[in-house]
């Protein structure tokens, strides 16, 4: 499929924005994995892209105008710089189970280490999918990951997070945490439901809400965001005033700090 994308859309920035850990360059394409869907995208010229695969519009939040959202930062000098730096980022709508496990793993780990852990779990427990370019391993389902032992997960460098992963798997498989049903909850209730899993606190729950459930009013506070709040906003959270765009503004700020190695 060949389409023109006239709103903000930068594949390199999306790949490096820290919200998904299995995006990769494959030749001239960027490869995205969404459950059993494999999406390959390449820029042809200007706003014209070739897209191979499905689930494109929902996955890339194409129903939202990010150009308009960037304009909301006009009165904030820090965020104005951040949105210009991050122009082209979009919030991905990812698989809830993979997102939950990925962000449990993400705690106190570098992005390369997170990527290695998530990829290792996919290769060991997930099913292979052959495409015209490569063989990709889908992330395991809750039932597939239930076969994992704590020792096996530790061998994959998950460390102290291994029992948290197994608790999440157990709760999902038992129906105690229904990842589809909680999508109907309000933001605060969704966060509390996710936090019933051992090892999921406010930050991880907000990441899951933002990156899997499309709750763009949620703005996760990690180490980088806390430093931004302390250094530029007197310890106050500057994102909440943006309402449903709070999480998008947070993502611009995070990308700006990390990509420019902002001294905080």
Pull the structure tokens for residue 163: 């029992």
Of all residues in the chain, what percent carry a pLDDT higher than 90? 92
For residue 109, what pLDDT is reported? 86
Contact 204, 231 (CB under 8 A): no
Structurally, how many domains does the chain consist of? 2
Q: Is residue 262 very low, low, confident or very high in pLDDT (cuts 50, 70, 90)?
A: confident
Residue 264 has pLDDT above 90, yes or no: no
**Of 56 and 210, more confident:** 210
Residues 128 and 58 in one domain: no
The CA distance from 26 to 49, in Å, is: 15
Residue where a domain stops, chosen among 213, 232, 255? 213
Residues 101 and 189 in one domain: yes
Average pLDDT of the residues in 42-71: 94
Report the run of H or E that residue 193 belongs to, with start and end.
Answer: helix 187-194
Would residue 129 count as lying in a domain? yes
Average pLDDT of the residues in 244-257: 96
Residues 39 and 144 in one domain: no
Contact 41, 90 (CB under 8 A): no
For residue 263, what pLDDT is reported? 74
Would residue 218 count as lying in a domain? no
Sign of CA dihedral 217, 222, 228, 234: positive
Would residue 159 count as lying in a domain? yes
Residues 102 and 207 in one domain: yes
Exposure class string for 136-163: b at 16+ Cβ within 10 A, else e: bbbbbbbebbeebeeeebeebebeebbe
Residue 35 has pLDDT above 90, yes or no: no
Is residue 241 part of the annotated active site? The answer reads no
Q: What is the DSSP letter of 140?
A: P
- The range of the structural domain enclosing residue 122 comes to 96-213
For residue 118, what pLDDT is reported? 97
Residues 104 and 179 in one domain: yes
Query: Catalytic: which of 181, 203, 227, 241?
Result: 203
Residues 108 and 17 in one domain: no
> Which DSSP string corresponds to 152-188?
HHHHTT-GGGHHHHHHHHHHHHHTSS-TTGGGGS-HH
The CA distance from 174 to 182, in Å, is: 15
Give the residue from 168, 245, 238 showing the smallest Cα distance to 204: 168
Residue 182 has pLDDT above 80, yes or no: yes
How many alpha carbons lie under 13 Å from residue 174 in its C-beta half-sphere? 9
Residue where a domain stops, chosen among 65, 87, 115? 65
């Amino acid at each position: 499929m060949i389409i023109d994308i006239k709103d903000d859309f930068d594949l390199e920035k999306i790949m490096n924005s820290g919200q998904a850990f299995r995006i990769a360059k494959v030749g001239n394409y960027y490869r995205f994995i969404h459950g059993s869907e494999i999406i390959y995208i390449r820029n042809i010229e200007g706003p014209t892209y070739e897209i191979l695969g499905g689930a494109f519009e929902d996955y890339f939040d194409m129903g939202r105008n990010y150009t308009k959202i960037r304009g909301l930062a006009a009165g904030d000098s820090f965020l104005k710089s951040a949105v210009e730096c991050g122009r082209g980022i979009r919030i991905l709508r990812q698989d809830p189970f993979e997102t939950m496990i990925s962000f449990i793993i993400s705690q106190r780990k570098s992005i390369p280490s997170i990527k290695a852990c998530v990829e290792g779990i996919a290769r060991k427990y997930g099913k292979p999918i052959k495409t015209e370019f490569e063989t990709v391993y889908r992330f395991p389902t809750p039932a597939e990951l239930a076969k994992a032992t704590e020792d096996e997960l530790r061998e994959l460098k998950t460390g102290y997070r291994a029992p948290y992963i197994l608790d999440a798997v157990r709760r999902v498989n038992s129906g105690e945490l229904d990842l589809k049903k909680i999508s109907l909850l309000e933001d605060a209730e969704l966060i509390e439901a996710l936090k019933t899993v051992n090892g999921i606190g406010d930050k991880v729950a907000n990441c899951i809400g933002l990156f899997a459930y499309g709750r763009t009013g949620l703005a996760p506070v990690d180490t980088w965001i806390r430093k931004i709040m302390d250094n530029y906003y007197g310890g106050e959270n500057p994102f909440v005033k943006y309402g449903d765009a709070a999480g998008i503004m947070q993502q611009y700020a995070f990308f700006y700090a990390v990509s420019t190695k902002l001294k905080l």
